[in-house]
């Protein structure tokens, strides 16, 4: 699913009107109808629910006015609060005129801001994608007032005051919505942690925006849902054998962090690798053999950390990092690996920290290497703290382009940047997965997928991120969020991958 800029949203808006031979007012009516249907389906509001609709001067306000009319026609008694304005959009004016006189309308006034009771449903239709600067004056006061109320706040298209695709100055007035109901496609703002308190839960309402226009719009940010992955994860051929899926090598573990190597090994095995060899310091030998008996174990001569790079010849892909530690000898193993590797690499955790602390190693990264930092590890890689989440995203894009690598940035919406400058946001996962070892599981899974020669680097990464989150979503149904541990994710990797393998069959059926 494409993530459009505010400017592209306008192009899509106009393109839809032209292609479908409708008026902008009709499109607004679709938007208002979709809002009404959501309110009725999601809230099952009682007939006396106090709906308060706050309307700005543009088409966002027009959506609010049309919704007020539809609510009234459905038997509710909404009230409308208008932001005084000198100029308003044509469709706002048209909908103000169509508003039944029975719907109370009030002008918002700085000294007479209304009290919205806790049981009220507030609709924020002040500003949407047309916001061009931070809110000031009365608009900012209204937003602050709204944020103080205990009422349920639902933002129409965007929380007012939030820009769709760029940061606003710190301390700007922005609505803190419980829900944001956006039209057709998500906005970039929804994916960034700094906006979470404003956006709340977001949902997309389809209003029939023209698919042919969407198809033609070039974007560099996408949101990955299951339908994007249909057909990208091949079924296992009937006559397959363990050689079909590759032999993976994992370099992991140090004293006190053998668990990371175990989790990554288990995830690699559940990720469908044909064979797995895990190279581990001696201290982890018995532990690994006992907890991941399907893996072959290659003990390093050193007791507590990795000190030697094994012969790479037998392997289809190599993963390094989980629980590795940052010993000098392990750094040299990483250096030798980067110099020698002719197969796909997955680099995580302490191996990333070693790259960050020894920037000359970054020049050795083979093309298409997959790196999986969380924000702190990513900062060590770039050596430059990000100003905000938008800046961090551009750093990520730049890093992947410059280093010709695939770089993941882990978070609520884990992002994958590709060497050609695209960013894909993952749609699966839950807060229960913010727990130790979750990243080690991802590394093991990605390693299995990179060892499978049938998958491109990009598909392996997208499938791995999606299946990792989906496994977490399946696990959390049994464990609850607080009770989820990384090992639970491992248990559901198989079912998550199977869903993807079966998705094509479902569509054919």
Ligand X SMILES: NC(=O)C1=CN([C@@H]2O[C@H](COP(=O)(O)OP(=O)(O)OC[C@H]3O[C@@H](n4cnc5c(N)ncnc54)[C@H](OP(=O)(O)O)[C@@H]3O)[C@@H](O)[C@H]2O)[C@H](O)CC1
Binding site, annotated residues: 59-63, 124, 128-134, 157, 160, 260, 323, 374, 410-414, 439-440
Q: Which does 31 bind (CB under 5 to 8 A by kind): ligand X, K ion, none?
A: ligand X
Rounding to the nearest 10 degrees, give the CA dihedral for residues 145, 151, 157, 161: 20
Q: Which does 272 bind (CB under 5 to 8 A by kind): ligand X, K ion, none?
A: none
Q: How far is the CB of 175 from ligand X (least distance, A)?
A: 12
| Contact call for residue 160 and K ion (CB under 5 A) | yes
> Rounded to the nearest 5°, which phi and psi values hold at 136?
-135, 180
Q: Which does 389 bind (CB under 5 to 8 A by kind): ligand X, K ion, none?
A: none
56, 139 Cβ separation under 8 angstroms: yes
Q: How far is CA 443 from its chain centroid?
A: 18
- Give the three-state DSSP class for 53: strand
Q: Which does 124 bind (CB under 5 to 8 A by kind): ligand X, K ion, none?
A: K ion
Q: Which is nearer to ligand X, 14 or 394 (CB)?
A: 14
Q: Give residue for tokens 């639970």.
A: 488
Binding residues for (6S)-NADPHX, as ranges, are: 59-63, 128-134, 157, 260, 323, 374, 440
Kindly state the number of chain residues that form the binding site for K ion, as judged by CB under 5 A.
6
Q: Which is nearer to ligand X, 188 or 264 (CB)?
A: 188
Q: Which is nearer to K ion, 155 or 275 (CB)?
A: 155
Q: How far is the CB of 103 from K ion (least distance, A)?
A: 19
Residues that bind ligand X (CB under 6 A): 9, 12-13, 27-28, 31, 56-63, 89, 127-135, 139, 156-158, 183, 209
Q: Which does 9 bind (CB under 5 to 8 A by kind): K ion, ligand X, none?
A: ligand X
Determine the Cα angle at 492 with ends 489 and 495, to 5°: 155
Q: Which is nearer to K ion, 63 or 350 (CB)?
A: 63
Q: How far is the CB of 127 from ligand X (least distance, A)?
A: 4
Q: Which is nearer to ligand X, 95 or 426 (CB)?
A: 95
Residues 6+ apart with CB under 8 A from 482: 432
Q: Which is nearer to ligand X, 17 or 504 (CB)?
A: 17
Distance of alpha carbon 187 from alpha carbon 2, whole angstroms:
9
Q: Which does 195 bind (CB under 5 to 8 A by kind): K ion, ligand X, none?
A: none
**Sheet (strand 247-251) strand order:** 221-224, 423-426, 415-417, 406-409, 370-371, 345-347, 317-320, 247-251, 275-280, 296-299
Binding residues for AMP, as ranges, are: 410-414, 439
Distance of alpha carbon 467 from alpha carbon 496, whole angstroms:
5
Q: How far is the CB of 376 from ligand X (least distance, A)?
A: 34
- Which of the residues 138 through 157 are near K ion (CB under 5 A)? 155-156
Residues 6+ apart with CB under 8 A from 441: 263, 264, 266, 267, 468, 486, 489, 490, 493
- Give the three-state DSSP class for 191: helix
* Contact characters 79-108, K ion, x per CB under 5 A: ------------------------------
Q: Which is nearer to ligand X, 25 or 312 (CB)?
A: 25
Q: Which is nearer to ligand X, 110 or 501 (CB)?
A: 110
- Give the range of 64-72, 124-132, 196-204, 363-371 binding K ion by CB under 5 A: 124-132
Q: How far is the CB of 110 from ligand X (least distance, A)?
A: 14
Q: How far is the CB of 449 from K ion (least distance, A)?
A: 40
Residues 6+ apart with CB under 8 A from 226: 427, 466, 499, 500, 503
Task: Extract the tokens encoding 384.
Answer: 């430059």
User: How many residues make up the chain in this entry?
Assistant: 509
Secondary element (H or E) of residue 197 = helix 196-199
Q: How far is the CB of 174 from ligand X (least distance, A)?
A: 11
User: Which residues are bridge partners to 153 per DSSP?
Assistant: 122
Task: Extract the tokens encoding 342.
Answer: 């002719």
Terminal alpha carbon distance of the chain? 23
* Binding footprint of K ion on the chain (CB under 5 A): 60, 124, 128, 155-156, 160
């Amino acid at each position: 699913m494409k993530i459009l800029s505010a400017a592209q949203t306008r192009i899509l808006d106009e393109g839809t009107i032209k292609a479908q031979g409708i008026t902008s007012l009709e499109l607004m009516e679709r938007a208002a109808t979709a809002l009404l249907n959501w309110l009725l389906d999601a809230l099952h509001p009682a007939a006396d629910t106090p709906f308060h609709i706050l309307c700005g001067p543009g088409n966002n306000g027009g959506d609010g006015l049309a919704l007020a009319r539809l609510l009234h026609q459905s038997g509710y008694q909404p009230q409308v609060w208008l932001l005084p304005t000198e100029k308003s959009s044509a469709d706002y004016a048209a909908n103000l005129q169509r508003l039944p006189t029975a719907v109370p309308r009030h002008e918002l006034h700085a000294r007479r801001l209304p009290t919205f009771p806790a049981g009220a449903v507030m609709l924020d239709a002040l500003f949407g994608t047309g916001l061009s600067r931070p809110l000031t004056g009365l608009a900012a006061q209204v937003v602050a007032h709204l944020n103080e109320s205990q009422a349920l706040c639902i933002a129409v298209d965007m929380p007012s005051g939030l820009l769709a695709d760029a940061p606003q100055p710190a301390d700007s007035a922005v609505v803190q919505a419980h829900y944001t109901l956006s039209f057709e496609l998500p906005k970039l703002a929804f994916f960034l942690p700094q906006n979470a308190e404003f956006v709340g839960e977001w949902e997309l309402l389809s209003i029939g925006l023209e698919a042919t226009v969407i198809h033609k719009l070039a974007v560099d940010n996408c949101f990955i849902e299951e339908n994007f992955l249909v057909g990208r994860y091949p079924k296992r051929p009937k006559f397959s054998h363990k050689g079909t899926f590759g032999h993976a090598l994992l370099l992991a573990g140090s004293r006190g962090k053998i668990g990371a190597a175990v989790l990554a090994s288990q995830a690699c095995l559940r990720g469908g690798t044909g064979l797995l060899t895990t190279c581990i310091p001696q201290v982890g030998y018995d532990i690994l053999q006992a907890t991941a008996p399907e893996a072959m174990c290659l003990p390093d001569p050193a007791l507590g950390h990795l000190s030697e790079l094994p012969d790479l010849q037998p392997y289809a892909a190599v993963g390094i990092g989980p629980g590795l530690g940052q010993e000098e000898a392990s750094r040299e193993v990483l250096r030798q690996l980067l110099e020698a590797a002719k197969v796909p690499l997955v680099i995580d955790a302490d191996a990333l920290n070693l790259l960050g602390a020894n920037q000359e190693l970054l020049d050795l990264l083979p093309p298409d290497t997959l790196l999986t930092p969380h924000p702190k590890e990513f900062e060590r890689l770039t050596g430059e703290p990000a100003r905000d989440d938008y800046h961090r995203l551009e750093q990520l894009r730049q890093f992947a382009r410059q280093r010709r690598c695939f770089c993941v940035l882990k978070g609520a919406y884990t992002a994958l940047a590709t060497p050609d400058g695209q960013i894909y946001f993952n749609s699966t996962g839950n807060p229960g997965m913010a727990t130790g070892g979750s990243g080690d599981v991802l590394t093991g899974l990605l390693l299995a997928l990179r060892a499978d020669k049938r998958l491109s680097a990009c598909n392996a990464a997208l499938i791995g991120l999606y299946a990792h989150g989906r496994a977490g979503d399946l696990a959390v149904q049994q464990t609850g969020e607080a009770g989820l541990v990384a090992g639970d994710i491992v248990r559901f990797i198989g079912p998550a991958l199977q869903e993807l393998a079966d998705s094509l069959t479902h569509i054919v059926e």
